[in-house]
Amino acid sequence: MNEKIPVGILGATGMVGQNYVSLLENHPWFEVTFLAASEHSAGQEYASAIKKRWRMPGKPPEAVGKLPVFNVKDTASAQKKCRLVFSAFSMSKNETLQLEREYAAAGMAVISNNSAHRLKDNVPIIMPEVNPELLEIIPGQQQKEGWNKGFIVTKPNCGVQSYVLPVAALKKSGLKIDQIITTNLQALSGAGYPGQSALDVLDNLIPLPSEEEKAFNEPQKIFGKLEGDRIVSDQNLKISSNCVRVPVIDGHSSCVWFSVQGAQPEIAEIEDIFRNFRGVPQEQNLPSAPQPVLRYTRDPSHPQPRLDRNAGNGMAVTIGRLQKAPVLGYRFTALSHNTLRGAAGGAILTAELLVSRGYVA
């Protein structure tokens, strides 16, 4: 790519925003040209705005540190400086809906980490290896909303990343997966910074009932189909999930039980499915695509967050402990990095997919 695409980060001073800043440094396709945050940070240089708040390894990139921080509501300034924005700001659902729509109406591609638009029937939840075909709804979305160049695409909740990718591999192989039970063990960084009090999390597990609904309705939409100008979720896929916060810094783990309709595959067959799975990002060798995306191990002591969360630069899913089970038929454990694959990294990979398919010039 001869000329880098100018991009913006909405919510640039927060934890996800800082991850974007770090991951986009020296990106071969994208250049950060616009930063936005709350009124409190607006008007400062980025280095000053995050001086006591930077939580990434090393120092902020020098060039980005000199950029001014704009008010996140200043869509007019964003329109002059970038073509694509990564949305990671924190507002109420209604405020988020309105503001992301304003960015799209102003002609920008919006890739959102927020949940506000995820279940809108004309807004796709994209996992690049799983459902790139759902990007085909973008022209219909633009026509319905009256947007010219802008559109909105979302990424899923960080909690579903670890098990949806392995399930997608099984479904792509032709296996008919109809029932899934998961226990999701979610890391502390999923709550942002400063997150929850140490007095809450030490020697404790914290139930996350708000995450449990996302754990089944988002995968149903991810595996859904485009029908006309809307996405119809796969209601035949039944998922039940328990979600808890655990005293781990980074890395969401999932213990997964699943059933297969029809002929029951041998464990060796499923192992080969995991090992051989490749999605569009791997086939096109997109800059952020891990090779391979699924890392399967027979070592019964893996996956472990501290040892495996950074596989594939934090973009791969590590799978282990695959075996036949008396409940549903099969079980495995999977791990993904919640702030890389599950947040900023996954959204950057989605942006790369959008560029490769011509949705961002």
Cα 49 vs. chain centroid, distance in angstroms?
26
Distance separating alpha carbons of residues 35 and 44, to the nearest angstrom: 11
Q: Are 252 and 346 in contact (CB under 8 A)?
A: no
Q: Tell me, what's the pLDDT at 55?
A: 87
Q: Tell me, what's the pLDDT at 2?
A: 65
Q: Tell me, what's the pLDDT at 1?
A: 55
**Longest distance between any two alpha carbons in the chain, whole Å:** 63
Q: Which residues are catalytic, by number? A: 158, 252
Q: Tell me, what's the pLDDT at 223?
A: 96
Q: Tell me, what's the pLDDT at 198?
A: 87
Q: Tell me, what's the pLDDT at 243?
A: 95
Q: Tell me, what amino acid is at 142?
A: Q
* pLDDT mean values, one per 10 residues, the chain (361 residues): 89 94 96 94 93 88 95 96 95 95 98 95 97 97 95 95 96 96 94 85 92 91 94 94 95 97 97 98 98 97 97 98 97 97 97 97 82
What are residue 186's DSSP bridge partners?
245
Q: Are 260 and 329 in contact (CB under 8 A)?
A: yes
Q: Tell me, what's the pLDDT at 297?
A: 97
Cα 347 vs. chain centroid, distance in angstroms?
6
pTM summary value: 0.96
Q: Tell me, what's the pLDDT at 52?
A: 86
